[in-house]
Amino acid sequence: MDRDTRILDRNGLTEAEYLQSYDPGHYERPSMAADMAIFTVLEETEDNYRKLPEKELGILLIQRGVHPYLGSWALPGGFVRPDETTEQAARRELMEETGLNHVYMEQLYTFSDPDRDPRTWVMSCSYMALIDSSKVRIKAGDDADNARWFHISFYLMDEHTDYPVPTDGEEPKVVRIQHYKLELTSDNICLSSVIEKSMTKTENGTFTEYEITENNGLAFDHARIITYALERLRGKVEYSGLALHLMPSEFTLTQLQQVYEVILGKRLLKAAFRRKAASLVEETDSYTGNEGHRPSRLYRKKWKEF
Amino acid sequence: MDRDTRILDRNGLTEAEYLQSYDPGHYERPSMAADMAIFTVLEETEDNYRKLPEKELGILLIQRGVHPYLGSWALPGGFVRPDETTEQAARRELMEETGLNHVYMEQLYTFSDPDRDPRTWVMSCSYMALIDSSKVRIKAGDDADNARWFHISFYLMDEHTDYPVPTDGEEPKVVRIQHYKLELTSDNICLSSVIEKSMTKTENGTFTEYEITENNGLAFDHARIITYALERLRGKVEYSGLALHLMPSEFTLTQLQQVYEVILGKRLLKAAFRRKAASLVEETDSYTGNEGHRPSRLYRKKWKEF
DNA sequence: GTAATAGTGTCTATCAGACAATATCTT
DNA sequence: AAGATATTGTCTGATAGACACTATTAC
């Protein structure tokens, strides 16, 4: 115990006595869910001739079999139990849905809008997980409880900036509003949302808000959680080796570059990319082959360093 | 409503009917607290002659008047109410403690260790706020409910790296353990903690854990929350204009540099710093004066851009 | 040979680190 | 003038963008 247990409070109770008589039933409490954005890289299977397969970013969704949002698609997740952390709950869900355990995962954000769940007061502690695309293919067809990989398309639709004239007493501010289209497709299923990102800049800082302005087929506020996860993923990929967690144990630098391009949504220059990637990977002695063009050296993650 | 309200579940209920009969009382629920790490820059008042005053990073703590941890010092915070978000709860607390409203704030992390509160199951959604040091001085002496600014000293004590030989069936890993000393002082009060940061790197990613190994005078797991906040602050200051939120409306570039140095814990080169800062600030026409040396131009935050 | 990808070389502009030189105020 | 800080200049090395060139395979 790192505190003094003999000290008395104003009622003359020691801490032990206080705790014994503590009644936790006074306040209303929220339920806490752990929801996961599980990303992977999907390969467009089809392709003629000898070109490399196109890649796309994918996310795992589950079709809800119960109310509310019955039939809608949702992030895998569940309620946190009293004997576990939110992270343990998230890993438990991950294990249940994918059979994978030791996987890259990070906490994203806790969403707590009181109305986000129509049943009752439910907060969501969201996590992002990145899964190696080779392990993924094993599970891709697994339709057991109606879990599916969706292809992600996420792009800016429009943007405009306002400089409202400050009326009396107000502080000046700038408002920038962006609309992002989020489209998730899997075979014939197509979910789509429009998310309004509004950034309000005042002298005291920038406040960013995400709001769902259109929603087709996604449960709860999960379109917003996915948007948040995508922005985190994009932001972090640029300055960290995050994307390596999406790679199989051995891969070519071109494959790695494709993953970066898919996440960032833009083309990268080969030479520059390979220079930067060099510090994150190490050579193997193997090469690809039988691909209709020059073989490519295989690399693996360099992982002994921090 | 963004969902189909006519669809029936396996019990033949519509969503409206389901919600009406929904009983939220089944599962155990956690309490949710919003705790805040409120940082500012404190000036060492004393100083001989005509030198610039030294600066230090400060954090606001409150002495607990009730069990548990009676007499210990804690981050300002409180329970989230059913009609507000965690962020609104945090702002409410901030307002109560400092009287400030429009202040830079960001969500940090949700701590959910089931044992973190001896009373009952309480999670903490933590926030970081940055407060302009000029507004601060007004409140610094405010001892009303025993709230005080503490000077922060936070440094690496030791570090060592292990390469455990993987035993049969285990995957290879590297473990790096660092011990950080956190010292918080205010007048004659001195709180101190040792936090063990253990980073375990396996092929599947790096997992970082913080554990409090020594704790004197800080309530709950707040030493860990503070450590987390300090690391976020340090990390983000390097690539964002975050530190500007700690500045008064007009300031010199040297003052800004001091703030960066205090947060990062290292000296910066003047020329390079001024080049980088140039994009974040804009000139005013004012200068400092009467300071025993050459006057310095005053700048303000450049805030119209995103 | 052709189509495709793999891999390297190099020029340039930009930027951060390092250090020096000069400017300007108060006492 | 002395003591302090303010401000600017410049050299250098590292790095990213841009582009071009060469290499190697399957068919």
For the whole model, what pTM was predicted?
Answer: 0.92
Q: Please report the pLDDT score of residue A53 as a whole number.
A: 83
Check B82 against A114: CB less than 8 A apart.
Answer: yes
Q: What is the pLDDT of residues A14-32, one digit of tens each?
A: 877 777 777 766 689 999 9
Q: In chain A, which residues have their Cβ closer than 8 Å to the Cβ of B125?
A: 110, 112
What integer pLDDT is reported at residue A141 of this predicted model? 44
For β-strands B205-216 and B189-202, DSSP reports them as antiparallel
Tell me how far apart the alpha carbons of residues A132 and A40 are, in angstroms, rounded to a whole number. Answer: 6
Which chain A positions have a beta carbon within 8 Å of B15's beta carbon? 67-70, 118
Query: With an 8 Å Cβ cutoff, are A85 and B114 in contact?
Result: yes
Position B171 scores a pLDDT of 79
Point out the residue among A15, A110, A203 whose CB comes nearest to the CB of B67: A15
Find the DSSP H helices in chain A. Answer: 15-20, 86-98, 133-140, 222-237, 253-264, 270-277
Determine the pLDDT at residue B141: 44
Measured CA to C1', the nucleotide nearest A294 is: D25
Whether the predicted pLDDT of B19 surpasses 80: no
| pLDDT: which is higher, A51 or B119 | B119
B66–A22 C-beta distance less than 8 A: no
The better pLDDT of the pair B57, B168 is held by B57
CA distance A174 to chain B (A): 7
The set of long-range contacts for A96-101, using a CB threshold of 8 Å and a minimum separation of 24, is A97/A38, A97/A60, A97/A62, A97/A147, A98/A38, A98/A60, A98/A131, A98/A139, A99/A139, A100/A131, A100/A135
How distant is C1' of D3 from CA of B292, in Å? 9
pLDDT in tens, B21-45: 777 666 799 999 999 999 999 987 6
Residue of A nearest to B1 (CA): A215
Which of A238-247, B1-10, B50-59, B137-146 is modeled with the greatest confidence?
Answer: A238-247
Average pLDDT score over residue span B153-180:
88
* DSSP for A194-208, written as a single string: EEEEEEEEETTEEEE
Structural domains for chain A: 31-237 (3.90.79.10), 248-306 (1.10.10.10)
Q: How far apart are CA B149 and CA A25, in angstroms?
A: 34
Report residue B252's pLDDT band, with 50, 70 and 90 as the boundaries: very high
Strands (E), A44-172: 55-63, 73-74, 77-79, 104-111, 122-130, 147-162
Distance B38 CA to C25 C1' (A): 37
Q: Which residue type does B7 have?
A: I
Residue B112 confidence (pLDDT) above 90 = yes
Nucleotides of strand D within 7 Å of the protein's CB atoms? 3-10, 16-20, 23-27
State which residue of chain B sits closest to A2, comparing Cα positions: B215
Digit-coded pLDDT (tens) for B79-107:
999 999 999 999 999 998 888 888 999 99
Residue pair B105/B233 in contact by the 8 Å Cβ criterion: no
Question: Which residue is associated with the tokens 């998310």?
Answer: A195
Tens place of pLDDT per residue across chain A (306 aa): 467 777 888 777 787 777 777 776 668 999 999 999 999 999 876 555 677 788 999 999 999 988 899 999 999 999 999 999 999 999 999 998 888 888 999 999 999 999 999 999 999 999 999 998 777 654 544 445 689 999 999 999 999 998 888 877 777 888 999 999 999 999 889 999 999 999 998 877 788 999 999 999 999 999 999 999 999 999 999 889 999 999 999 999 999 999 999 999 999 999 999 999 999 999 999 999 888 899 999 999 987 666
Q: DSSP secondary-structure letter at A144? A: T
Residue A280 CA to residue A299 CA, distance in Å, equals 10
* Residue with CA nearest C1' of nucleotide D25: A294
Instruction: Tell me the nearest-neighbour CA distance from B217 into chain A, angstroms.
Output: 7
Strand D surroundings (CB within 7 A)? A 50, 269-272, 275-276, 289-295; B 49-52, 252-254, 270-271, 274, 287-288, 291-297
Mean of pLDDT over chain B: 88
Question: What is the enclosing helix (H) or strand (E) of A33?
Answer: strand A31-43
- Cα dihedral B236, B237, B240, B242, rounded to 10, equals 100
The amino acid occupying position A37 is A
Q: Are strands B77-79 and A147-162 parallel, antiparallel or unpaired?
A: unpaired
Beta carbons within 8 Å of A293's beta carbon, 6+ residues apart: A50
Nucleotide minimizing C1' to CA distance for residue B274:
D7
Q: Residue B204: pLDDT above 80? A: no
Per-residue flag: A274 CB under 7 A of strand C: yes
Locate B134 and state its tokens.
Answer: 């000029």
